[in-house]
Amino acid sequence: MSKGERTRAAILDQALAMTSTDGLTGLTIGTLADRLGMSKSGLFAHFGSKEQLQAAVLERAAELFADTVVRPALAQPRGLPRVLGLFENWIAWTMDPVLPGGCPIQAASIEFDDRPGPIQDLIVKQQEDMRRVVIGAARRAVEEGHLRADLDVEQFAFEGISLCYGFTQSYRLLKNPKSEVWARNAVHGLVDRGRLRQ
């Protein structure tokens, strides 16, 4: 990496940590510059506007999510191991101390759900990409015979993603000590229903 690339990466790492606790709307060029000991003009050399910085932070968060959750799961054998890997990794991601305030992507999806514009468009794309990953993993599990042939994979993905988001609220906001057990029970209940004919 060049010096410029290393500087940009360091900026994004700090911005991601700030976004995790303060939200995307709480991320400002001035505050970030202070945290990094940089000038505002130095930051603007890398990101021309607050919106461009927000987009870069979301893209960095998505890369980290993919490296932590998606890619390790897709390295598992086709079928149910990949499905379970996705959900297990997602639970671990939510509990990861590297993100002191939780998942920036999930937080941003709430922050920007009624704020049309380029940032909302990027968040929608990221959410749809994740939905496609879960649907694809479920479809492979059907093809492998691990889940029943008539399974509605879109419904399966909806329930799986919803339970991961519900786990985040229970674990991070409500701080319920049973959250992790409940989440894993919910995942296995979802999979068990996927195996059985209704």
Q: Is residue 21 part of a domain?
A: no
Q: Is residue 44 part of a domain?
A: no
Strand segments, DSSP code E, in 25-182 are: none
**Region 69-86 average pLDDT:** 97
Q: Is residue 28 part of a domain?
A: no
pLDDT digits (tens, 9 = 90+) for 6-31: 888 999 999 999 999 999 999 988 88
The pLDDT of residue 184 is 97
Q: Is residue 68 part of a domain?
A: yes
pLDDT digits (tens, 9 = 90+) for 113-123: 999 999 999 99
pLDDT digits (tens, 9 = 90+) for 54-71: 999 999 999 999 999 999
Q: Is residue 187 part of a domain?
A: yes
Q: Is residue 122 part of a domain?
A: yes
Q: Is residue 97 part of a domain?
A: yes
CATH number reported for the structural domain that contains residue 170 in this entry: 1.10.357.10
Q: What is the 3-state secondary structure (H, E, C) of 22-89?
A: HCCCCCCHHHHHHHHCCCHHHHHHHCCCHHHHHHHHHHHHHHHHHHHHHHHHHCCCCCHHHHHHHHHH
Token reading at 77: 């054998």
Calpha distance 93→172 (Å, rounded): 12
Q: Would the pLDDT of 196 be above 80?
A: no
CB 58 within 8 A of CB 123: yes
Domain of residue 103, residue span? 50-194
Domains contained in the chain, number? 1
Predicted TM-score (pTM) of the model is 0.92
Calpha distance 18→12 (Å, rounded): 10
pLDDT digits (tens, 9 = 90+) for 135-144: 999 999 999 9
Q: Is residue 178 part of a domain?
A: yes
